[in-house]
Structure 1
Amino acid sequence: MSDQATDPYADHTEMANHWWWRPGWKVGTRFYAWHITLDGQDDLHRLIDQYQDALKPFPTLDLIPRRWRHITLQGLGHSEDVTAQQRDEAVHAVAERLAKLEPIDSAFQRAVIFREAIALPPSNPDAYANLRSEIRAGIADAWGWCPENADGFRAHASAAYSNGQRPTREIREALDTAEPRDGSLVRVTSVSLIRMHRDRAMYEWQTEVDVPLQNPEH
């Protein structure tokens, strides 16, 4: 049986509350981040819906509405710490790099249990790691440095967040029962810079800009 030391997507045996306040975060905090927002990814949404139906009996899980499902890539910074000029310079530099990347085609099927979330990993996580690396390089092109640690990235689309402690055995059984024979297919053609908050125990946002992959205009 694999564990987190050898497999970043290995199940945890105990879940914990995701909604503790990270340093610098509070009600009212707004944060810029690069996400894949999953707008229009109906095949993946149907798969997540199927898993969520199986998770409804568990009160320690907050199910994520379709509107707020996403794949996290890279933080840019708190909105009060990033000027409009800095934001725009980073967007321009990231767009220059992403224009040279091809769209990403992935399959999603099995759900895994992180310590603080139920997540679906893509079939090709290295493609997302490369996408994140290019975003980080673009930010560094603009700013001379990049926030956040380069290590520890796990590409995934979350289905639910944990709001408390709970052993995972029964959750694993429910996910296994709900797992479909066939997964879902996703094509990623853009990433979004969002301005997000978590005031209501859910990540919610407004999109600042969408940046396409493989853009001939750059």
Structure 2
Amino acid sequence: MTTEDATPPVDPYADHDEMANHWWWRPGWKVGTRFFAWHITLDGQDELHQLIDQYQEALRPFPTLDPIPKEWRHITLQGLGHVKDVSDQQRHDAVQAVAERLAKLDPIESTFQRAVIFREAIALPPSNPDAYTPLRNEIRAGITDAWGWCPESATGFRAHVSVAYSNGRAKAAAMQQALINAGPVEAATRFAEVSLIRMNRDQHMYQWTTMDEAPLWTASSD
């Protein structure tokens, strides 16, 4: 294959020209569904919250966007399964195995700045998205240690913090200009733990209760 024949890699953080409704029901989901997932929640990330607030203010004129309240902002990492399908013992075993693996990882330091337009959300990519792949891989390996297998695909992961979800179809050009005009500053973060949450999306927003937490501490494995 010549250089000219090679297909250039697709940028997972490229802006879309048009947005679509995020709130369609995925297979297995409906009102009342509860789901376990590993997330990074943003408790204490004041700089990042200020940046998100700045973008949300710029996006206020667009009715097809649902801004995400402070308490529900997060980085999605890995699903564990529908609550009805995961026993208490299975959840306990997975948490223990994941925690053992994450204790060997360093906390992740990132900066966030530029907002991008996904198909179904306005999002902030971290400055070092590749740093989150080993974290997700260790979560998946821990689940496999406990269960002998891991749900969800290992591919397609795209680390990001969502600013707003799309609730309908809309052209993105005006939104993109509003984001540019917002002129955000850089936000620094340090993530030192991940959370297993029990979440729902009954009210056009991901809401949850934190069930367990696993720290990223190299010292804990000494």
Q: Does 1:26 align with 2:30?
A: yes
Per the alignment, residue 71 of structure 1 pairs with 75
| Other structure's SS at 1:110 match | coil
Q: Does 1:120 align with 2:124?
A: yes
**Structure 2, unpaired ranges of 5+:** 1-7
Matches of 2:213 and 2:145 in 1, distance apart? 19
Matches of 2:187 and 2:133 in 1, distance apart? 20
Q: Offset at 1:5? A: 5.6
Matches of 2:9 and 2:202 in 1, distance apart? 33
RMSD: 1.1
- Whether the 8 Å contact between 1:191 and 1:210 is mirrored in structure 2 is yes
| Other structure's SS at 1:130 match | helix
Deviations 1:128-186 (Å, cap 9, x if unpaired)? 11110110000001001000011111000000000000010000000001132x31000
Per the alignment, residue 212 of structure 1 pairs with 215
Q: Offset at 1:210? A: 1.2
Q: Offset at 1:197? A: 0.1
- Alpha carbons of structure 1 residues 22 and 5: separation in structure 2 relative to 1, 3 Å: farther
**Structure 1, unpaired ranges of 5+:** none
- Give the number of the structure whose alpha-carbon radius of gyration is greater: 2
For normalisation by structure 1, the TM-score amounts to: 0.96
Per the alignment, residue 7 of structure 1 pairs with 11
- Whether the 8 Å contact between 2:32 and 2:202 is mirrored in structure 1 is yes
Q: Offset at 1:216? A: 3.7
Find the partner of 1:198 among 189, 201, 216.
Answer: 201
For normalisation by structure 2, the TM-score amounts to: 0.94
Letter in 1 for 2:198: R
Find the partner of 2:39 among 35, 42, 46.
Answer: 35
Per the alignment, residue 146 of structure 1 pairs with 150
Matches of 2:219 and 2:80 in 1, distance apart? 25
Find the partner of 1:58 among 59, 62, 67.
Answer: 62
Find the partner of 1:48 among 52, 58, 64.
Answer: 52
- Whether the 8 Å contact between 2:106 and 2:218 is mirrored in structure 1 is no
Deviations 1:74-123 (Å, cap 9, x if unpaired)? 00000000000000000000000000000000000000000000000000
Q: Offset at 1:215? A: 5.4
- Whether the 8 Å contact between 1:119 and 1:157 is mirrored in structure 2 is yes
Matches of 2:108 and 2:220 in 1, distance apart? 19
- Tell me how many residue pairs correspond in the alignment: 214
Per the alignment, residue 170 of structure 1 pairs with 174
| Other structure's SS at 2:85 match | coil
- Whether the 8 Å contact between 1:111 and 1:119 is mirrored in structure 2 is yes
Find the partner of 1:80 among 73, 81, 84.
Answer: 84
Q: Percent identity?
A: 70
Letter in 2 for 1:34: W
Q: 4+ runs of 1 displaced by more than 6 Å?
A: none
Matches of 2:108 and 2:9 in 1, distance apart? 27
Per the alignment, residue 188 of structure 1 pairs with 191
